[in-house]
Amino acid sequence: MNIELTQIIPELIIASAICLLILINSLIPSKKRYSGLIIGSLTMLSCAFVSFLFLLDPTNSFIFNDHYRIDHLAMGLKFVTYLGSLMIFIGTTTNKDNAKSELILLELFAILGVSILASANNMLTLYLGLETLTLSMYGLVASKRSSEIATESAMKFFILGAIASAIFLYGVSYIYGLYGTLFFGEFNDVTINNSIEMQLALAFIICGIAFKFGAVPFHSWVPDSYQGASTSSALFISTIPKIGAFALIYRLLFEAFIANVEFWSLLLLLLGLLSLIIGNLIAIAQDNLRRLLGYSAIGNIGFILIAFSIGTTEGVIASLVGLIIYFFNTAVAFMSLEVISSENRAVVSLSDIKDLNSSHPWISLIILFAMFSMVGIPPLIGFYAKWIVLSELINADMLIIALIGIIISVIAAFYYLRVVWYMYFEKNELPIMQGSSNILQKISLSIIGLMIVILGLYPSPIIDFCRFIISPFLLID
């Protein structure tokens, strides 16, 4: 038992931090402002450290009667989650938001959900993680209580999310009916290949996953909730849950139902292409920066799903590389929005960043990096996300998909360029705005902004890391 508990130290830390935070919030209201940030950051720091130690000495063990699995992938994804959350906590903390402590609390719950997802080895454990994640996301979107848009988008998100969870669960019930078990490891023992019930079950499950990713046609909540949520929540829900969703498709599709690879890869390809095309095309028409980033996220997810749909280990690695790089770009974009916003003037639309270069040359440069990175211009990391996916597509003889992918990225370049041209080319008559950010935010933004360039010049760490956490399963092929 003790050995089993040591395996889930990160989860235990998070759970105790949650309890502590609830206590602090209810008992010592005056300390509210910083307690969340400090506890959250320390928790993430220690979790990241612990999961890093696990990664150094990897095991592949099943605990809690096979319900829970600790392996490279689980620890790797957890490590990314914790590190990313740490970055988000530090980078987007604003003093003005007095509900901050609750936000961190909700975010910690979501992180716990992602951790469970990453380690799940049973459909029920998986669902437990999924709902822990999703329920806290509803709260995050709704957290700006005074805002009408926030309430509306939270409502939309909740209704759609509930339906998606129900569909997912329905698919799971089919699986149970077909196999008589919920353990992932046992699905491969029985061969129920491509019967109509099996396909139906997989289709339901994929619908649920697509909702979590925000892939077309399950994407309508994405731009709304990005717009409605506060910046830090928007950044959080645009990144961390995607890691959970990746764990979901990896565990379910690539490990448990690899026998049905032909069927699910087709579905994922379809979802990926739709997201890629529709997300990027709609983004062109957006003037609101948050919505623009929302649609851009849909387009990026499209690329990630297409990579996954190749159905080989290399494709999965490319998909994970794409996800991590997406994480960096999104983080920089949202964090810079937060840095240049001020108490009385939030940066909402493109016209708010007119001539930003004159007042904030350094922040503009960082946004410029992020935008060109998303366009896919080397040597910024965004390029490697596109390149590695294209490489695997061409390697798998899917040249047509690769061509569609690049043509869409050229079209998508337009709206990223628009952000740059508003910052650099437009002249602004309004007085120069002053951001109300603190130094901590600026530093963390600068660090991540520089990472876009540095990792772009030397991308091997990201690629090798993704290979490392997925490679033990090379044997499955």
Q: Which residues of the shown chain bind other proteins in the complex (CB under 8 A)?
A: 357-358, 361, 365, 368, 372, 375, 377-379, 383, 387, 390-391, 394-395, 399, 402-403, 406-407, 409-410, 413-414, 417, 420-421, 424-425, 458-460, 463-464, 467
User: How many CB atoms within 10 Å of residue 361?
Assistant: 12
Say if CB 116 and CB 102 are below 8 A apart: no
DSSP assignment of 76-134 equals: HHHHHHHHHHHHHHHHT--SS-TTHHHHHHHHHHHHHHHHHHHHB-BHHHHHHHHHHHH
d(CA 325, CA 259): 29
In the DSSP assignment, the letter for residue 183 is B
Say if CB 273 and CB 306 are below 8 A apart: yes
- CB of residue 465 to other proteins, shortest distance in Å: 11
- CB of residue 370 to other proteins, shortest distance in Å: 12
Closer Cβ to other proteins, 233 or 357, answer by number: 357
Closer Cβ to other proteins, 34 or 425, answer by number: 425
- CB of residue 238 to other proteins, shortest distance in Å: 25
Closer Cβ to other proteins, 265 or 357, answer by number: 357
Using CA atoms in the order 474, 256, 267, 162, what is the torsion angle rounded to 10 degrees? -130
Say if CB 158 and CB 137 are below 8 A apart: no
In the DSSP assignment, the letter for residue 431 is P
d(CA 276, CA 208): 19
- CB of residue 332 to other proteins, shortest distance in Å: 16
- CB of residue 451 to other proteins, shortest distance in Å: 16
Closer Cβ to other proteins, 266 or 399, answer by number: 399
- CB of residue 458 to other proteins, shortest distance in Å: 8
Closer Cβ to other proteins, 199 or 349, answer by number: 349
Closer Cβ to other proteins, 228 or 376, answer by number: 376
Say if CB 20 and CB 39 are below 8 A apart: yes
Say if CB 176 and CB 133 are below 8 A apart: no
Task: Report CA Rg, the chain.
Answer: 21
Closer Cβ to other proteins, 139 or 299, answer by number: 299
Closer Cβ to other proteins, 38 or 450, answer by number: 450
Q: Which residues of 211-233 are buried (b: 16+ CB within 10 A; e: fewer)?
A: bbbbbbebbebbbbbbbbbbbbb
- CB of residue 319 to other proteins, shortest distance in Å: 16
Closer Cβ to other proteins, 137 or 368, answer by number: 368
| Angle in degrees, CA 22, 28, 30, rounded to 5 | 120
Sign of CA dihedral 410, 413, 418, 424: negative
- CB of residue 401 to other proteins, shortest distance in Å: 11
- CB of residue 385 to other proteins, shortest distance in Å: 13
